[in-house]
Amino acid sequence: MRQFTLPDLGEGLEEAEIVSWYVGEGDHVVTDQPLVSVETDKAVVEIPSPSSGRIARVFGAKGDIVKVGAPLVEFAEGAEQDTGTIVGDLGGGEHRPAPGTPSEPPTGPQVFPAVRALARKLDVDLESVVPTGPGGTVTRADVERAAKIVSQAGCAEPLRGTRRAMAQRMATAHAQVVPASVTDEADIDDWPTGEDVTIRLVRAIAAACTAEPALNAWYNPGAGERRLMARVDLGIAVDTEGGLIVPVLRNVAERNVSDLRMGLDRLRADAIARSIPPEELRGATITLSNFGMIGGRFANLIVVPPQTAIIGAGRISPGVVPHRGQPAVRRMLPLSLTFDHRVVTGGEAARFLVALKSDLEKMS
């Protein structure tokens, strides 16, 4: 018989409380299979088996306090030798800090060295693994499950071109912007037949920017400066096979309907053909995402710095709403406004949305 004792859990911890046993007496286990989870004053951790063999005896029950070095399980004869090192040690490959060395705080799910080695062997990215172990610990089963999913999926391919640029912009936006959203619906049932929805949205955004200029602005957090833009240069999100492209429709407040439509058609065609000049993708002061042309009603959109706001238009659909004192079925256009709450107040956003809705509800 050979005993496996509670290993050194690091950070000078001397004891731990048993949370849950995963094995029982008589069970056969393999190396690195979870035996028990224990809780310290730092976290709940999962302790793997140091060797393969049959469990002859377990020591302690749920809630018991176990000292470091006290026995946890006893293996029947023939079990491999306990390495006597830290939890999950494979005899190398993971650096163990010297005594007294400050340890870095965990920045993600806890992964024991043995599980990390398994992930490397199976070519599994631990960032993509959903932990299910106690305290958010990544277990062997989590890694094996992820490996199975990856094996059934297509080959991984690097993001290139437009998709790579989109990923970088979205990561930057997520890191910098403090987003908040407000929503409403515009009653457009009085629009003339065949009305150009996108152009109406463009004109309404220009009107709303005049009513509430705070949302047609750039913000420089490094300098702590906000710049209200005198001209409305509207970014128009265009969905393409290669990814999202946002060309800029310039000076929309000063252009007539036919000029706006011609400009929008040209930008959209150039974006889809991947022939749009780089300067046509820069300098937007506010953005429109007319995602309702595809589907969806409301959205929490992404504000791309240095802009402070983005408007989303959802799918037009009939709805029962009050109309002239009576319930009526009317065509409703869902509106979503996401803004950077570092520089735009809730009141400014609400006033912008009211002005946007008011302009859209005009007959023409």
pLDDT in tens, 43-58: 678 899 988 999 999 9
| Distance from C-alpha of 286 to C-alpha of 357, rounded to nearest angstrom | 17
Are 148 and 196 contained in the same domain? no
- For the cut 90, the answer to whether the pLDDT of residue 83 exceeds it is no
* 319 compared with 271, residue with greater pLDDT: 319
Last residue of a domain, one of 103, 126, 152: 152
End position of a domain, from candidates 152, 185, 205: 152
Mean pLDDT within 20-40:
89
Range of the domain at 49: 2-152
pLDDT tops 70 at residue 260: yes
**Spatial contact of 258 and 203, defined as CB atoms under 8 Å apart:** no
pLDDT (tens digit, 9 = 90+) per residue, 172-231? Answer: 899 999 999 999 999 999 999 999 999 999 999 999 999 999 999 999 999 999 999 999
Q: What's the pLDDT score for residue 125?
A: 86
> Residue 339: its pLDDT value, please?
98
Mean pLDDT over 320-344 rounds to: 96
The chain-wide mean pLDDT, for the chain, equals 86
- 22 and 140: one domain? yes
Hunting for tokens 């003339």 — which residue is that?
Answer: 192
Which of 152, 180, 208 is a domain's end point?
152
CATH number, domain with residue 269: 3.30.559.10
Q: Indicate if 89 and 227 belong to the same structural domain.
A: no
Pair 308, 175 in one domain: yes
Number of domains present in the structure of the chain? 2
Q: Indicate if 120 and 170 belong to the same structural domain.
A: no
Would 157 be classed as within a structural domain?
A: no
Same domain, 54 and 180: no
Q: What is the pLDDT of residues 92-143, one digit of tens each?
A: 333 344 444 444 444 566 788 778 888 888 888 888 888 888 777 888 888 9
In a domain, 81, yes or no: yes
Question: Letter for the amino acid at 316?
Answer: I
From residue 123, alpha-carbon distances to 72, 126, 181 in Å are: 32, 9, 40
Question: Is 183 found in the same domain as 118?
Answer: no
Q: Is residue 27 part of a domain?
A: yes
Asked whether the bond before 306 is cis by omega within 30 degrees of 0, the reply is: yes
**Within-domain flag for 263:** yes
Whether 68 shows a pLDDT value over 70: the answer reads yes
10 vs 306, higher pLDDT: 306
Residue 235 CA: distances (Å) to CA of 182, 202, 212, 277: 20, 10, 18, 14
Coil, strand or helix: which one is 156? Answer: coil
DSSP for 325-364, written as a single string: TEEEEEEEEEEEEEEETTTS-HHHHHHHHHHHHHHHTS--
Q: Are residues 258 and 285 in the same domain?
A: yes
Q: What is the DSSP string of 250-306?
A: TTGGGS-HHHHHHHHHHHHHHHHTT---GGGGS--SEEEE-GGGTS-S-----PPTT
Same domain, 282 and 310: yes
Give residue 11's pLDDT band: very low, low, confident or very high (50, 70, 90): low
The reply to whether 259 and 124 lie within a common domain is no
